[in-house]
C-alpha cells in the first residue's frame, strides 16, 4: 500500500508499457525505426521497458542526457543543434556509444571535424514550419553542408552523414486532429523533397520525424525512416486535449495531500515546484494546471480511474496549489485526504519531481535525482 505524505508522482507501469508497445507496433508496421525521445521520462529503468519492446536507439535533447543514457544505450541522437561549447563532454562519452549530432552551420561541421576525438553521425536539422531551429529547405548553406559531408566521407573523416531531421512541434498548437495530419503531411513533403534532391549523391540518406501528436494520430508513416516521439510514454492532459490519447492512457498522476479547505477551494501540497507551470485553457476559456481524477480513497494499488472528479488546479504557488470546482465536487474532501491530479505537461512535471512511485510502491529514479548537477 502506498503511504502518501507529500507530493508524489505515481506511475502506472501497465499503462506506460501499453503506450510504448502501441507505438513500437505502429512504427514497425510502417517499417520505420522507433527512436523514442527520452527527455520525457529521463530514467534508465523506464528505458528498459523500451528495450523489452525491441527498441535499440534513442533520442535526447541535451549532452547531459546523452551522457546519462550512454551507460545503457549504444545509439543516441542529440536532437538539437550542437552546442560547440560542449565538445569536451561529447569527447568524454563512452566511445562504444554511437552518437548522432544535429547541425545547421558549415562552421559547426568544420569545428567538429577538427575537434572530435570520435566518429559521429550527422543529421541536418530542417525547419518544417515550427520556426524554432533548423534550415529551411532552400537555405543557401544547404549545398555547402552537403559538400563538406561528402568530403568527410571521401577522406575517412569523422562525420557520417545520416540525413535530414525535423520536429513539427507546432502540432501542439493545432486545433483539430485534421490540422495535426495536415502539419505532419506538410513536414513529410518538405523532407521528401530534400531526400529526392540529395539522394542521387547520398543514396542512403534518411528522414527522421516525429512529434507525439502526429505519431499518435497518423497510422501510416510510409517513406519516413525514423520516428522520434517522446511524450507517448506517459501522455498528459495536453495530449488528451489534442486528441493524441484517451484519458485512460495517461500513465502518471500527482498524489497531493490536502492541507486546507478554504473559501470553496481545497489547498494541496503540490505547487509549481512539483507540477511545473504549463497550463491549458479549456473550451470555456478557463485555465488550469491539472485536473483531479478518481474519488476519495487511500489505496491506488489498482491504479486510478478515468473519472474526472470536477476539481481543477487553478492556482499554483511554489509549494502549494488550489483546487476549485462546483460545490458538489468539493463535498466530502477534507484536510488529510490525498487527491490525484493529472498533469498538463508530463515531461516538465517528471523533470520537477525527479522520481516516480509505481503502484506497487517501487521508486524509479529520474536523471535529475541521479545526477542533479551534472551527468556522471
Selection from 218, 115, 224 nearest residue 171 by Cα: 218
Residue with cell 562525420: 159
- Nearest Cα neighbor of 352 from 280, 279, 273 is 273
Rounded Cα distance, 368 and 65, in Å: 10
Any contact of residue 351 with a second copy (CB under 8 A)?
Answer: yes
Complex with a second copy: residue 126 or 194, whichever CB lies closer: 126
| Least Å from the CB of residue 69 to a second copy | 15
Q: Which of 23, 280, 338, 341 binds a second copy (CB under 8 A)?
A: 338
Alpha-helix runs per DSSP H in the chain: 13-29, 44-51, 63-69, 87-92, 106-115, 142-154, 177-198, 212-217, 237-242, 272-275, 327-330, 346-353, 367-370
| Stretch near a second copy under the rule CB under 8 A, chosen from 24-32, 155-163, 276-284, 302-310 | 276-284
> Taking the complex as a whole, how short is the minimal distance between the CB of residue 103 and a second copy, in angstroms?
10
- In the bound state with a second copy, the residue whose beta carbon lies nearer, of 179 and 319, is 319
To the nearest whole angstrom, how small is the minimum distance from the Cβ of residue 81 to a second copy? 4
Rounded to the nearest whole angstrom, what is the least distance from the CB of residue 225 to a second copy in the complex? Answer: 24
Residue for cell digits 498522476? Answer: 253
Say if residues 180 and 241 touch (Cβ distance below 8 Å).
Answer: no
3-state DSSP assignment of residue 357 = strand
Binders of a second copy among 28-87, rule CB under 8 A?
39, 61-64, 80-86
Q: Does 15 bind a second copy (CB under 8 A)?
A: no
How far is residue 149 CA from its own chain's centroid? 29
Region of 146-154, 202-210, 214-222, 262-270 interacting with a second copy (CB under 8 A):
262-270
Backbone angles phi, psi at 161, to 5 degrees: -65, 130
Residue 140 engages a second copy in binding (rule: CB under 8 A): no
Name the DSSP letter for residue 57: -
The angle formed by the CA atoms of residues 282, 285 and 288, to the nearest 5 degrees, is 55
* Number of neighbouring beta carbons within 10 Å of residue 171: 25
Given 286, 317, 361, 362, the residue binding a second copy (CB under 8 A): 317
CA 207 to chain CA mean position, Å: 19
Count the residues of the shown chain that bind a second copy, applying the rule CB under 8 A: 61
Whole-number minimum distance, CB 155 to a second copy, in Å?
25
Place of cell 480513497: 297
List the interface residues with a second copy, window 182-221 (CB under 8 A): none
Among 178, 185, 282, 335, binds a second copy (CB under 8 A): 335
Query: At 9, is the secondary structure helix, strand, or coil?
Result: strand
Which residues are at the interface with a second copy (CB under 8 A)? 4-6, 39, 61-64, 80-86, 88-89, 104-105, 107-108, 127, 131-134, 169, 257, 259-260, 262-263, 265, 267, 269, 272-273, 276-278, 315, 317-320, 322, 335-336, 338, 347-348, 351-352, 354-355, 363, 365, 368-369, 372-373
Amino acid at each position: 500500500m502506498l503511504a502518501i505524505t507529500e507530493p508524489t508522482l505515481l506511475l502506472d507501469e501497465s499503462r506506460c508499457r501499453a503506450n510504448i508497445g502501441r507505438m513500437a507496433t505502429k512504427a514497425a508496421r510502417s517499417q520505420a525505426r522507433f527512436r523514442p525521445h527520452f527527455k520525457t521520462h529521463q530514467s534508465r529503468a523506464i528505458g528498459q521497458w523500451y528495450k523489452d519492446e525491441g527498441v535499440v536507439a534513442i533520442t535526447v535533447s541535451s549532452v547531459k542526457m546523452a551522457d546519462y543514457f550512454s551507460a545503457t544505450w549504444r545509439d543516441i541522437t542529440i536532437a538539437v543543434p550542437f552546442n560547440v561549447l560542449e565538445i569536451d563532454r561529447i569527447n568524454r562519452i563512452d566511445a562504444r556509444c554511437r552518437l548522432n549530432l544535429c547541425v545547421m552551420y558549415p562552421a559547426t561541421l568544420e569545428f567538429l571535424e577538427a575537434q572530435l576525438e570520435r566518429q559521429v553521425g550527422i543529421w541536418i536539422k530542417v525547419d518544417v514550419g515550427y520556426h524554432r531551429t533548423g534550415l529551411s529547405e532552400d537555405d543557401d548553406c544547404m549545398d555547402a553542408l552537403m559538400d563538406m559531408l561528402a568530403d568527410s566521407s571521401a577522406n575517412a573523416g569523422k562525420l557520417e552523414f545520416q540525413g535530414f531531421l525535423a520536429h513539427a512541434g507546432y502540432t501542439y498548437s493545432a486545433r483539430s486532429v485534421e490540422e495535426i495530419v495536415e502539419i505532419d503531411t506538410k513536414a513529410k513533403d518538405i523532407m521528401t523533397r530534400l531526400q529526392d534532391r540529395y539522394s542521387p549523391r547520398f543514396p542512403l540518406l534518411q528522414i527522421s520525424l516525429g512529434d507525439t501528436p502526429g505519431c499518435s494520430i497518423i497510422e501510416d508513416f510510409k517513406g519516413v525512416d525514423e520516428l522520434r516521439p517522446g511524450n507517448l510514454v506517459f501522455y498528459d492532459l495536453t495530449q488528451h486535449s489534442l486528441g493524441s490519447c484517451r484519458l485512460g492512457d495517461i500513465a502518471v498522476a500527482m498524489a497531493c495531500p490536502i492541507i486546507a479547505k478554504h473559501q470553496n477551494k481545497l489547498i494541496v501540497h503540490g505547487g509549481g515546484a512539483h507540477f511545473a507551470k504549463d497550463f491549458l485553457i479549456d473550451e470555456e476559456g478557463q485555465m488550469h494546471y491539472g485536473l483531479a481524477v478518481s474519488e476519495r480513497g487511500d489505496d491506488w494499488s489498482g491504479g486510478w480511474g478515468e473519472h474526472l472528479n470536477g476539481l481543477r488546479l487553478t492556482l499554483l504557488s511554489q509549494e502549494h496549489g488550489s483546487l476549485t470546482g462546483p460545490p458538489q465536487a468539493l463535498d466530502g474532501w477534507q484536510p488529510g485526504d490525498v487527491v490525484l491530479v493529472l498533469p498538463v505537461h508530463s515531461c516538465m512535471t517528471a523533470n520537477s519531481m525527479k522520481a516516480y512511485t509505481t503502484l506497487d510502491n517501487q521508486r524509479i529514479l529520474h536523471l535529475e535525482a541521479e545526477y542533479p548537477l551534472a551527468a556522471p
